[in-house]
Homo-oligomer: A and B are copies of this chain.
Amino acid sequence: MPNKPLILITNDDGFEARGLEALVEAAKDFGEIVVITPDGHRSGMGHAITMNVPLRVKLYKTENGIKYYRSNGTSVDCVKLGQRVVLGNRKIDLLLSGINHGSNSSVSIIYSGTMAAAIEASFEGIPAIGFSLLDYSSKADFSVAVNYTRKIIEKVLQNGLPKHICLNVNIPKLPFEEIKGIRITRQTLGYWQEDLEEHTDPFGGKYYWLAGFLVNLEQEATDTCEWALHNGYVAVTPVHFDMTSHQTINKLKHWEND
């Protein structure tokens, strides 16, 4: 099948994550699959890249004709290594990342290694999708997520995505029959309210664990990813990487002449 799309799969939960299995299961019939993931957890690492230590990449298994590689790098490093080293700059038709254990709605997109991988691919115009399931348990049931993941991969392969756009897909933790469908959403305005738990080590030193909860600053809005996710919908947010606040440009323009 010379026209089989080339699909690169990564994640930020590492090579042993059950969400990775689920994503491969969802994608395997759509094209030629190559998997490259971190060799352990790289959650919450945002768009981190590895510059201070050398990167390594290793083929660790071939299963059902799919090659699985792992690396000491982050999810973003995996995209770069996958593209440049493993695939030798072959044209990638689709980059898939996930399925993340836990949602990446609202501002979580910016901390998320899952979404960073998708965003990295979009820099060069590779269509890309990050998938996340609103279930932080290592025993999460991915079967419903696989179903919707498949639907969304199919749509993107059929129709493409606008250049430099990727998708942030968040799937609720619900039985299939309770999911109401797909909603195209926008990123919810919000932030993480930290609770930096203070502990004391055996030597009297203080240390802190970073924990917290998401504050939704627009509870009433019904077009957001948070609303969709908590109202029974699969939230699909189109994402770009232009962080310019275009509407602020004019407000500051007078600085040029001050």
Interface residues of A (CB under 8 A from B): 41, 43-52, 54-57, 76-77, 80-81, 84-85, 107, 109-111, 116, 119, 123-124, 155, 161-162, 164-165, 168, 181-187, 189-192, 194, 196, 198-199, 205-210, 236-246, 248-249, 251-253, 255-256, 258
Distance in angstroms from A109 CB to nearest chain B CB is 6
Report the separation of the CA atoms of residues A205 and B55 in the bound assembly, to the nearest whole angstrom.
11
Contacts of A182 in B (CB 8 A): 255-256, 258
Contacts of A85 in B (CB 8 A): 196, 198, 208
Distance in angstroms from A103 CB to nearest chain B CB is 15
Q: Copies per complex?
A: 2
Report the separation of the CA atoms of residues A156 and B118 in the bound assembly, to the nearest whole angstrom.
34
Name the CB-closest residue of B to A79.
Answer: B194
Name the CB-closest residue of B to A107.
Answer: B123
Give the interface SS of chain A, mostly helix, strand, loop or mixed. Answer: mixed
Name the CB-closest residue of B to A223.
Answer: B249
| B165-A77 in contact (CB<8A) | no
Report the separation of the CA atoms of residues A154 and B245 in the bound assembly, to the nearest whole angstrom.
21
- Going nearest first, the 10 A-B pairs with the smallest beta carbon separation are A46-B47, A238-B248, A123-B191, A54-B207, A46-B46, A240-B245, A186-B244, A238-B245, A48-B48, A45-B48
| B248-A55 in contact (CB<8A) | no
| Cross-chain pairs A/B with CB under 8 angstroms, 7 sampled | A44-B51, A46-B116, A162-B245, A164-B189, A184-B255, A189-B242, A243-B243
Contacts of A207 in B (CB 8 A): 54-56
Report the separation of the CA atoms of residues A245 and B249 in the bound assembly, to the nearest whole angstrom.
18
Contacts of A236 in B (CB 8 A): 252, 255
